[in-house]
Amino acid sequence: MKKNKIATLYLTVMFIVLYLPIFYLIGFSFNAGQTMNKFTGFSLVHFQELFSDSRLLLILLETFLLAFLSALLATLVGICGTLWIRYTKKKVTKNALLAANNLLLVSPDVIIGASFLILFTVLGKVISGFNLGFLTVLLSHVAFSVPIVVLMILPQLEKMNESLIFAAQDLGANYWQTLTNVILPYLTPGIIAGYFMAFTYSLDDFAVTFFVTGGGFTTLSVEIYSRARQGVSLEVNALSTLVFVFALVLVAGYYWISQDGSSSRKKRKKRG
């Protein structure tokens, strides 16, 4: 009994510590004053500021566009990679491919950012007109999102019953039909989860973008960094309130998708 109380107390304290900074941030976004020190009254003035700051809104839009695009491309490359790895027969080659796939996942952001910066600079010397900017940021986001997509889809493909493919081919489906009508529908939950992860990876990234962005293109994280370095501006708080609400929606969506996937899997099991 006594131990239970200690556990509850500990958890309460830890959850407070975990959420206090976030709610501190959100709370002050409704502050009428200009600092994060003293709450001088409720006001939505910083939200008004935020919504009339066209530069920031444009950055927000571009950040989301970048996330959509990079997640889409990363998912496509990831699907190809998954199929390649799955149908690689030699164990040694397969393991080597998997290891290479995971390399970017474990590398620190700074290394990825620095090495991509070198890569793009070298490419810029070879290809005229290739400069740091939106394209390089997009390419980097695709690049570091590919491995997680592969990791989300591969387990599903490994579980897939091979006879489904044989059945499709016996019934006269060509390779392309087998792929689009049998394999891809089967993998849909994994593909959605992979896209989702790639999307959040892109939204979340700061370090890699910071290295390869050059001057012309800015994402939200980079913008927040440069604003935070100049000190407190409650517009950033208002922004984080919106981000928090968005994160809640995303988490809810993600859990809905994953619950959906697991429940349909359970159903399938029951039927089988």
Pick out residues in 221-240 that bind other proteins (CB under 8 A). 221, 224-225, 228-229, 231-232, 236, 239-240
Which residues pair with residue 42 across a beta bridge?
31
Question: Does residue 212 touch other proteins according to CB under 8 A?
Answer: no
Applying CB under 8 A, the span of 40-48, 50-58, 116-124, 264-272 interacting with other proteins comes to 116-124
Q: Smaller CB distance to other proteins: residue 112 or 191? A: 112
Q: What is the rounded distance in angstroms from the CA atom of residue 19 to the CA atom of residue 24? A: 8
Question: Does residue 39 touch other proteins according to CB under 8 A?
Answer: no
Q: What are the tokens at 35?
A: 């600092």
Q: What are the tokens at 217?
A: 């293109």
Question: Does residue 115 touch other proteins according to CB under 8 A?
Answer: yes
DSSP 3-state percent helix, strand, coil across the chain (nearest 5): 80, 0, 20
User: Least separation, in Å, of the C-beta of 131 and other proteins?
Assistant: 16
Stretch 53-72 residues interacting with other proteins (CB under 8 A)? none
Applying CB under 8 A, the span of 6-14, 53-61, 189-197, 261-269 interacting with other proteins comes to 6-14
Question: Does residue 171 touch other proteins according to CB under 8 A?
Answer: no
Q: What is the rounded distance in angstroms from the CA atom of residue 194 to the CA atom of residue 72? A: 10
The DSSP letter of residue 183 is: I
Question: Does residue 7 touch other proteins according to CB under 8 A?
Answer: yes
Q: What are phi and psi of 206, to 5 degrees?
A: -120, -50
